[in-house]
């Protein structure tokens, strides 16, 4: 199966390497365009939307830090063109679906931890992205490193 435009979603941790590598392999074998997205979740969202303090400064720091990490990734993977790397605020599932539709992507690549038990109940981004996705979704199995 050949793809034309692959969107890889990354959390910008060290775990995103195998996810990008897989997406890159597929883009080479399909001669597909490769785009990348990271979503910065608004802090108020993480705290349930009702926080009695001004989070704007912290939020700006969070965004700047994400931008720095993204720039490092772009330097590490030359096939990731800056024009095709997106950094946006919002809820990961919603923003990934929106971008995939807008950019007419035919494959979304995410990492998956293969959660069990309670962690499974709490859900995962891969699971979330799969539901209602506008195109195929590939979940790259991530091996948990011993802590
Ligand atoms: P998680 O379920 O949060 O451990 O994340 C699993 C995968 O979802 C990651 O490897 C990424 O592919 C994707 N993901 C998680 N958080 C984000 C984010 N903020 N922006 C983009 N992709 C994300």
Query: Mind listing the pLDDT tens digit for each residue in 1-53?
Result: 789 999 999 999 988 999 999 999 999 999 999 999 999 998 766 666 566 66
- Any idea what the CATH number is for the domain that residue 41 is in? 3.40.50.620
Helix (H, G, I), strand (E, B) or coil at 3: coil
Residue 147 in any domain: the answer is no
H or E, element range at 29: helix 16-30
Residue 59 in any domain: the answer is yes
From the CA of 111, how far away is ligand 1's center (Å)? 6
Residue owning the nearest CA to atom 5 of ligand 1 = 125
User: So what's the pLDDT on residue 102?
Assistant: 98
| Cα-trace Rg, the chain | 16
Q: Measuring CA to CA, which residue among 87, 92, 59, 52 is closest to residue 73?
A: 87
User: Hey, which of 7, 8, 9, 41 would you mutate to test ligand 1's pocket, going by the most ligand atoms within 8 Å of its Cβ?
Assistant: 9
From the CA of 129, how far away is ligand 1's center (Å)? 9
Number of domains in the chain: 1
Q: Which domain holds residue 111?
A: 5-141
Beta strands in the chain (DSSP E): 5-9, 33-40, 85-89, 107-112, 136-141
Q: Across residues 78-99, what is the average pLDDT? A: 94
Residue 146 in any domain: the answer is no
From the CA of 117, how far away is ligand 1's center (Å)? 19
H or E, element range at 24: helix 16-30
Residue 121 in any domain: the answer is yes
């Amino acid at each position: 199966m050949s793809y034309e435009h692959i969107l890889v979603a990354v959390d910008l941790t060290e775990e995103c390497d195998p996810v990008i590598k897989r997406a890159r392999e597929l883009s080479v074998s399909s001669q597909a365009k490769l785009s990348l997205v990271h979503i910065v979740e608004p802090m108020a969202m993480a705290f349930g939307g009702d926080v009695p303090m001004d989070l704007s400064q912290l939020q700006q720091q969070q965004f700047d830090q994400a931008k720095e990490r993204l720039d490092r990734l772009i330097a590490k993977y030359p096939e990731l063109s800056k024009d095709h790397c997106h950094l946006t605020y919002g809820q990961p599932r919603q923003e990934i679906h929106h971008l995939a539709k807008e950019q007419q992507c035919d494959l979304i690549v995410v990492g998956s931890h293969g959660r069990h038990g309670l962690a499974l109940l709490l859900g995962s981004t891969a699971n979330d992205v799969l539901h209602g996705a506008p195109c195929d979704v590939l979940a790259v199995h991530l091996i948990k490193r011993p802590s």
